[in-house]
Amino acid sequence: MKIASWNVNSLKVRLPQLTEWLAAAQPDVVALQETKLEDARFPRDELAAAGYRAVFAGQKSYNGVAILAREEPREVVTDIPGLDDPQRRILAASVGPLRVVDLYVVNGKAVGDPKYAYKLAWLEKVREFLAREHERHPHLVVLGDFNIAPDDRDVHDPAAWHERVLCSTPEREALRRITELGLADSFRLFEPGAGHFSWWDYRQGAFRRNLGLRIDLILIGEALKPAARAATIDREPRRWERPSDHAPVTLELDI
DNA sequence: ATGGTAGAACGTCTA
């Protein structure tokens, strides 16, 4: 099984790129973030033509998450206890043997900003939800745009980003509390080195200069670790015309 | 340089 996560930054704009990438990469499950679409406008028919069933939780203009799969996702959850949140940032569903939780983590804007406090509170509520999900579903996959670079290997210029939003210690500790539920950052099962990024700012030629961060993650439960075969960051779509600022990330599981 | 670019929407927010 090949699973993937991609922040598409507007599914309306990126639909042709998504279908091209689906045809080339042939993933079995795909988590999307920043669809920026109301559910009534979700391109269900176009994705069905590409061979994917879809479940989604969207809103106008901002946020929005979706899970695509070869078979119909089951037991869909869009709202979790303790988060009465109009922002559509979380979507859980069962696909085949997997429990899949798609996250579009709050960006946070800047350390100390009210949005940063919302980010940390949001992550704690999500951690509580994931703890319960993991108890019920050992084959748990938690993936998406985490808006946190786990450590300095995931940052092009750690000095410049020191204690800034996406890299601050409280954010990294919030992520660590989630991985301590027994959820491994699958990319690091295969690649220990620095300099592998999944997001590059649109400005100042950041992609061309590889000035990026690795903030798009696929976490897997301990029970899935023996099945992990390969993890990639596919930079190719970031080179296309009018790209998302994020690259798709993938994990191959022998399951 | 509190800039720069992109998306949604058409002024201004979000990232």
**Tokens describing residue A38:** 């109301």
Q: Closest CA to B9 C1' — which residue?
A: A61
Q: Each residue of A194-210: pLDDT tens digit? A: 999 999 999 999 999 99
- Residue range A221-226: mean pLDDT, rounded: 98
Q: What is the pLDDT of residue A218?
A: 98
Q: Each residue of A112-136: pLDDT tens digit? A: 999 999 999 999 999 999 999 999 9
Q: What is the pLDDT of residue A164?
A: 98
* Residue linked to tokens 């042709």: A16
* Residue linked to tokens 């100390």: A112
Q: pLDDT category, A67, cuts 50, 70, 90? A: very high
Q: What is the pLDDT of residue A161?
A: 97
Decide if A95 contacts A69 (C-beta within 8 A): yes
A104 is a catalytic site residue? yes
What are the binding residues of A for Mg(2+)?
7, 34, 145, 147, 245-246
A10 CA, B8 C1': Å apart: 9
A205 CA, B4 C1': Å apart: 10
Q: Which bases of chain B are contacted by protein, using any atom under 7 A from a CB?
A: 4-9, 14-15
- Residue range A47-74: mean pLDDT, rounded: 98
A203 CA, B5 C1': Å apart: 5
Q: Which protein residues have their Cβ less than 7 angstroms from some atom of strand B?
A: A 9-10, 12-13, 36, 60-62, 106-107, 109, 115, 147, 202-204, 242
Residue among A116, A144, A188 nearest A29 (CA): A144
* Residue linked to tokens 């993937």: A4
Q: Residue type at A217?
A: L
Residue A116, CB-side half-sphere exposure with 13 Å CA sphere: 15
Catalytic residue among A104, A116, A134, A154: A104
Task: Give, as one character, the DSSP assignment of residue A83.
Answer: -
Please tell me the pTM assigned to this model: 0.98
Residue among A240, A168, A246 nearest A214 (CA): A246
Q: What is the pLDDT of residue A184?
A: 98
* Residue linked to tokens 């859980």: A92
Q: What is the pLDDT of residue A143?
A: 98
- Residue range A172-187: mean pLDDT, rounded: 98
Please tell me the distance from the alpha carbon of residue A223 to that of residue A208, in angstroms, as a whole number: 38
- Residue range A173-201: mean pLDDT, rounded: 98
One DSSP character per residue, A156-205 reads S-HHHHTTSTTT-HHHHHHHHHHHTTTEEEGGGGT---S---SEE-SGGG
Q: Which domains does chain A have, with CATH numbers?
A: 2-253 (3.60.10.10)
A118 is a catalytic site residue? no
Catalytic residue among A102, A145, A154, A216: A145
**Average model confidence (pLDDT) across chain A:** 98
Please tell me the distance from the alpha carbon of residue A102 to that of residue A146, in angstroms, as a whole number: 10
Closest nucleotide to A38: CA versus each C1': B8
